[in-house]
Homo-oligomer: A and B are copies of this chain.
Amino acid sequence: MTAPISEQLNADELLESGQRKMEWARQHMPIMGSLRESFEADQPFAGERIGMAMHVEAKTAILAEVLAAGGAEVAITGCNPLSTHDDVSVALDAVDGVTSYAKRGVDDKEYYEAMEAVIDHEPTITVDDGGDLVFAIHEDYPELIDTIIGGCEETTTGVHRLRAMDDDDALEYPMFAVNDTPMKRLFDNIHGTGESSLASIAMTTNLSWAGKDVVVSGFGYCGKGVARKASGQNANVIVTEVDPRRALEAHMEGFDVMPMDEAAAEGDVFITTTGNRDVIVEKHFEEMSDGVLLANAGHFDVEIDLEALEANAQRTYEARDGLQAYEMPDGRRLNVLAEGRLVNLAAPVSMGHPVEVMDQSFGVQAVCAREIIQNGDQYEAGVHNVPDELDREVAEIKLEAEGIEMDSLTGTQEEYMDSWQHGT
Interface residues of A (CB under 8 A from B): 20-21, 23-25, 27-28, 58, 79-81, 111, 130-132, 135, 160-162, 164-165, 168, 170, 182-183, 186-187, 191-192, 195-196, 198-200, 202-203, 205-211, 229, 231-237, 240-245, 247-249, 251-262, 275-278, 291, 300, 302, 319-320, 333, 349, 351-352, 354-357, 391-392, 395-396, 398-399, 402, 404-410, 412-413, 416-424
Contact = CB atoms under 8 A, between A and B. Distances in A.
A364 to B, nearest CB: 11
Q: How many copies does the complex hold?
A: 4
Contacts of A277: 412-413, 416
B424 A300 contact: yes
Contacts of A198: 199
A248 B187 contact: yes
B187 A252 contact: yes
Given A28-B291, A245-B391, A391-B245, A420 B164 contact: yes
Contacts of A23: 319
A164 to B, nearest CB: 4
Contact of A195 (B168, B209, B236): B209
A259 B412 contact: no
Nearest to A419: B164
A208 B195 contact: yes
Nearest to A247: B406
Given A233-B232, A241-B406, A208 B357 contact: yes
B234 A234 contact: no
Contacts of A419: 164
A125 to B, nearest CB: 21
A278 B410 contact: yes
Contacts of A241: 406-407
Nearest to A202: B199
Contact of A203 (B237, B349, B355, B356): B349
Contacts of A202: 195-196, 199, 354
A18 to B, nearest CB: 12
A319 B24 contact: yes
Going nearest first, the 6 A-B pairs with the smallest beta carbon separation are A232-B232, A208-B354, A244-B395, A161-B420, A191-B210, A164-B420
Contacts of A355: 206-208
